[in-house]
Amino acid sequence: MMAISKEEEEVIVALNQIMFNIRLFMFMFLRIYLKLKRRRLGPLDNETVRYSLIGRTPSQLDYLRTLVGFNDVTCRDNLRMNRQTFFRLCYLLENVGGLAPNRNVSIPEQVAIFLQILAHHTKNVVARSHFNRSGYTISIHFNRVLLALLKLHSMLLITPQPVGENTDDVRFSHFKGCLGALDGTYIGVRVPCLDKPRYRNRKGNVSVNMLAVCDNNMNFIYLLTGWEGSAADSRILRDAVTRENGLRIPTGNYYLVDNGYTNGEGFLAPYRGTRYHLDAYGQGQSAPRNYMEFFNMKHAKARNIIERAFGLLKSRWGILRSPAYYPIKVQNRIIMACCLLHNFIRTTNDFDPEEETLDEFFRKNPGLVNGEDYINTVETSQEWTSWRDTIAMNMYNEWLQSR
């Protein structure tokens, strides 16, 4: 495929949006014309009522027009993205993912069906009522868009960039060479009764254990899902590091991890036995009392980016907040798709309005995103521990001098 510039892509997306609006206008005009014609002629005696695809199609596109044809607010509320981002996604799915329209369902309608199901965990029976389609049509196009989206993973996953000397991010200013943060979270799933013991986690819920890595802008770098909730975290990390296309950490760089991880090369963990969580620090008597506590406070502020990424992911896509009625293989694909769409929205939009409501989401769902002990496979390195002590003491001394 011949490469195109960003300006050419924007022109193509704008033209596609214009053509889509023209088609919607033509269908609406045809619908009004047929309605007026039937009203003028009236029903004929002994006339056989027949199915009319032309007469039915505009009513199906009416709902699509309400989603993406009026304003960005309505489109964002229903599909979690504005109209420009929506049509850009349609363009990528068609030209890169291989998604194709058929005689009855256009690409924008297929993508709208898919996004609404993910955003609101809409059941098939509800989606077919909204879009005036059969349950089979909803199901077949949902899976087609899902597979097309997964083909974009190489484009949508972010390439990590280490924190530089002159970074503007205050949270990561002390962590030179850091690539981001690593953690895991549980996603509830539905499985057959015979498989439930394998998927039941230590909290007693049936789930999968997803390992994720994000950068300092809450964009996902690496994802590994599919492991049962009962699987040991060390086994999941070992699989991520050893598999052919797994997690790769260049020498000299590292990820921030919580106190459930072993501090070793490539993974910088806080001091154990020392208060860590942000709510334990404050002013006066709650201020850090030594270099280990100060390091843990700064570490927690920076590593909190992965917790916010999980919270933003689950607040945007309702299908991740409750188990879905899909085969477990499809459920794992859905988790991957939600993460890819998360990256696409954050890298395409100038701002993410969902992030403004993230703190309120945490208050309403206090136990949804957890930051407990997870992976514990990295071998302890004395050299790495000494390097952590050096960073911690330098940070603490700079803080004392600035007071």
- Is residue 116 one of the residues assigned to a domain? yes
Structure-block tokens of residue 154: 């190489």
- Is residue 73 one of the residues assigned to a domain? yes
pLDDT reported for residue 178:
92
CA neighbor of 296 nearest in space, from 288, 284, 306, 285: 288
- Is residue 364 one of the residues assigned to a domain? yes
- Last-in-domain residue among 98, 127, 151: 151
pLDDT reported for residue 3:
57
pLDDT reported for residue 279:
72
Question: Do 147 and 192 fall within a single domain?
Answer: no
Question: Do 71 and 110 fall within a single domain?
Answer: yes
Task: Give CA separation, 398 vs 387, 391, 394, in Å.
Answer: 17, 11, 6
Mean pLDDT by 10 residues, the chain (403 residues): 65 78 73 61 47 54 82 89 92 94 89 96 92 92 97 92 86 90 91 91 90 92 91 77 85 85 82 77 75 86 91 93 92 96 89 69 55 40 74 80 74
Question: Do 240 and 383 fall within a single domain?
Answer: yes
- Is residue 1 one of the residues assigned to a domain? no
**C-alpha triplet 159, 341, 199: angle, nearest 5°:** 95
Question: Do 30 and 87 fall within a single domain?
Answer: yes
Residue 323 near residue 316, CB atoms below 8 Å: no
Tokens 């695809």 belong to residue: 53
pLDDT reported for residue 170:
87
**C-alpha triplet 369, 279, 402: angle, nearest 5°:** 130
Question: Do 91 and 133 fall within a single domain?
Answer: yes
pLDDT reported for residue 378:
46
pLDDT reported for residue 10:
76
Question: Do 14 and 73 fall within a single domain?
Answer: yes
Structure-block tokens of residue 163: 């924190």
Tally of domains within the chain: 2
- Is residue 89 one of the residues assigned to a domain? yes
Write out the H or E segment, with its range, that includes residue 10.
Answer: helix 6-41
pLDDT reported for residue 376:
32
- Is residue 46 one of the residues assigned to a domain? no
Question: Do 351 and 387 fall within a single domain?
Answer: yes
Distance between terminal CA atoms of the chain? Answer: 58
Contacts of residue 70, defined as CB under 8 A and 6 or more positions apart, other chains included, come to none
Question: Residue 115 CB: number of other CB atoms within 10 A?
Answer: 23
Torsion of Cα atoms, 83 then 84 then 90 then 96, to 10°: -160
Question: Do 252 and 319 fall within a single domain?
Answer: yes
pLDDT reported for residue 305:
93
Question: Do 121 and 188 fall within a single domain?
Answer: no
pLDDT reported for residue 169:
86
Question: Do 190 and 289 fall within a single domain?
Answer: yes
Residue 319 sits in which domain range? 160-402
- Is residue 324 one of the residues assigned to a domain? yes
Question: Do 176 and 135 fall within a single domain?
Answer: no
pLDDT reported for residue 110:
94
pTM of the predicted protein model: 0.80
Question: Do 175 and 310 fall within a single domain?
Answer: yes
Buried b (16+ CB within 10 A) or exposed e, 251-277: eebbbbbbbbbbbbbbbbbbbeebbbe
Cβ neighbourhood burial of 84 (10 Å; 0-12, 13-18, 19+): middle
One-character DSSP codes across 118-173: HHH---HHHHHHHHT--HHHHHHHHHHHHHHHHTTHHHHSPPP----TT-S-GGGT
- Last-in-domain residue among 151, 177, 194: 151
- Last-in-domain residue among 111, 131, 151: 151
